[in-house]
Each structure stands twice: as C-alpha cells, then as structure tokens.
Amino acid sequence: MTRPLDIAGMVCPSNVFLAPLAGYTNHPFRTMCMRLGAGLTFTEMVSAKGLAYGSEETKKLLYCGDETPKAVQIFGSDPALMRAACESAELAPFDLVDINMGCPMPKIVKNGDGSALMENMPLAEKIVAACAKSGKRISVKFRTGTDEAHKVTAEFARMCEGAGACMITVHGRTRDKLYAGAPDYAEIAAAKRAVRIPVIANGGVWNKQDFDAMLARTGADGVMIARAALCRPQVFSEIAEREAPPVGELFSRQLAETAALCGERFAVVFMRKMAAFYCKGRPGAAEYKRRLFAAQTVQEVSRLASEIFAPS
C-alpha cells in the first residue's frame, strides 16, 4: 500500500514517483501520472549549462503548472553552474531539484556528467554541496556503481547525505547493465541502512507485486517508476489500489493537452510514440504502429487511437 512521504517538509501524497525520462516526461505526461496516483514527478533532465546559456529549448523542458509538489532534474559537472541553475528563476517554481548522477548514456558520460560522477566522488560531493547552498531541497539519483567490480552504493549514499541532499534515489543496476537485468535489492538496502534521509528505489518495477517486493526486500521509503509508466501509466493507479480511466480516455486527454501546450506538430510526433507504447501486446499492434507513424495531424492520431483503444 502506498503512503504519504515527507521530504524535508515537502509532503508527497504517495511514495510512488514518476522518474525523469528524457524525451517523455513533459508537463501533460507528468500531470496525467499525478492524476493516476504518482506522488511526485520529475521533468526530463535539464542541462545546467543550457540554462546558463539561456537555451530556449532547455527552458521548454521546464514548463509546469500549479501542480504540487513538483521536481526538476538537472545534470552537469561544474559545481558553480549547478548552483546557479538551482538559484535561477527558471527553477524557482520547483519544490525539489534532483541531480542526475546515474545516466549511463555515452554522450552524457563522456562529458563527465551523469554516472561519470560516480567515478569522481570528490567532485560529486562538491556539486551536491554547492546545490544545497542554493537553499533548494536537493536530491540525487545514482546507480550502484559502474560495474560489478566497482559498486559504491552505500558510500555514495553517505556522501550525498553528508553534502546536504535530503533524498536519494538508487537505480539498482550498474552503469554497464544500462536497463537490463534484475535490480540489485541488496545494494539498495545497503544504501537505506547507510543514511537517515528518504531512499527511493528504482529499477524493474512494472506492477504492484514488483512495488511490494521492492519495498519489502530493500526497506526503501518509496519507489520510482520509469519504463513501466511509458507502456502503462495506469500502473500508478494499480499500485495505489484505485480505479483508472480506460486507456482510450487517458490517451485522448493527453493528446489534447499536449497539442494545446506544444502545438500540433510536436503533439503528433510525440503522441504517435506514446500510442506505440500503449498498444504493445495488443492484437494487430504492428499494423497499428505502421498506420500511426504515417499519421500527420492530431485528428488522424485521434481517429486511429479511437480504433486502437476501443473497448473490447
């Protein structure tokens, strides 16, 4: 069963969170997941350097409404730039700033960002401390290590707490595993034992059974959902043990809200991807995807979705 979670005075209505997902966790998707039961949602990861340079594309990722609480994730490896991002007007609306120290993608790692910081703990500590000096609530998302021979979960967790983080999220896989394999429950549990701040467990949670098992085996204070939310956002309602609207109704509202906020062209491209996720496993999914990716207008996407997601 879910429960409220207090993070340095910020009370989340439930302890199941939506992970930051590059290319997906825009405002309409985040608000849909909150309506379904997510207690906290995160923006796509935002470049501190992009904010410093006034990038308009970076600023678009930060759109938010009056939902509360709300969190932003930033990445970078310059302590001064990271603190400046936390103190910026663009991040002022957010209740919590999460620092990405877990992204395994080569283009992020080669710049010394994301999970590269797990190999440079002194620099990682300076970044967390600098961000904490901004006065914002700071959390850190990281992995268990770079590979099986270099796991640093508990040590890294203690560093984050000591530097001023008020929450950590542990993705229970090493960097070299990317998103494959079962999460390492023992390492997440080690992080939980190492600190007093809330610990959120991430990795391999696709349903309520996985949620319950993750909490039971790690002692974590909450769980963060990532890929499961793309395929089946109703997972939040399932975990919260409440009814969810039919997928067709969810899709129609998400499509309308995305078009209103981002314009037709973005909405068509984005919602074609979402529809492809939502129809996985359905009879005729391959043909539906082919037709979806040929659609060029919101009306076409909507008409196809009505067919795909019609009640059986």
* pLDDT tens-place string over residues 221-266: 999 999 999 999 999 999 999 999 999 999 999 999 999 999 999 9
Closest CA relative to residue 94, chosen from 36, 130, 138: 138
Answer yes or no: 103 catalytic: yes
Count the Cβ atoms, other than its own, within 10 Å of residue 294.
10
Q: What percent of the chain has pLDDT over 90?
A: 83
CATH for 247-308, options being 2.60.120, 1.10.1160, 1.10.1200, 1.10.150: 1.10.1200
pLDDT one digit per residue (tens) for the chain, 312 residues: 799 999 999 999 999 999 999 999 999 999 999 999 999 999 999 999 999 988 888 888 999 988 899 999 999 999 999 999 999 999 999 999 999 999 999 999 999 999 999 999 999 999 999 999 999 999 999 999 998 889 999 999 999 999 999 999 999 999 888 887 889 999 999 999 999 999 999 999 999 999 999 999 999 999 999 999 999 999 999 999 999 999 999 999 999 999 999 999 999 999 999 998 998 878 888 888 888 888 999 999 999 888 888 776
* pLDDT tens-place string over residues 153-163: 999 999 999 99
Is it true that the peptide bond before 183 is cis, omega within 30 degrees of 0? no
Domain regions of the chain by residue span:
5-240, 247-308
Predicted structure pTM score: 0.95
Helices (H), the chain: 27-36, 48-52, 56-60, 79-87, 106-109, 121-132, 153-163, 185-194, 208-218, 227-231, 235-240, 247-262, 264-278, 285-292, 298-308
d(CA 111, CA 209): 38
* pLDDT tens-place string over residues 128-148: 999 999 999 999 999 999 988
Closest CA relative to residue 187, chosen from 175, 171, 176, 205: 171
Which tokens is 230 given? 């793309």
CB-based contact 14:4 (threshold 8 Å): yes
Name the pairing type of β-strands 5-7 and 96-101. unpaired
Instruction: Indicate the SS3 state at residue 222.
Output: strand
DSSP designation for 145 = B
pLDDT, position 312: 64
Is the domain spanning 5-240 CATH 3.20.20.70? The answer is yes
Which of 12, 33, 86, 103 is catalytic? The answer is 103
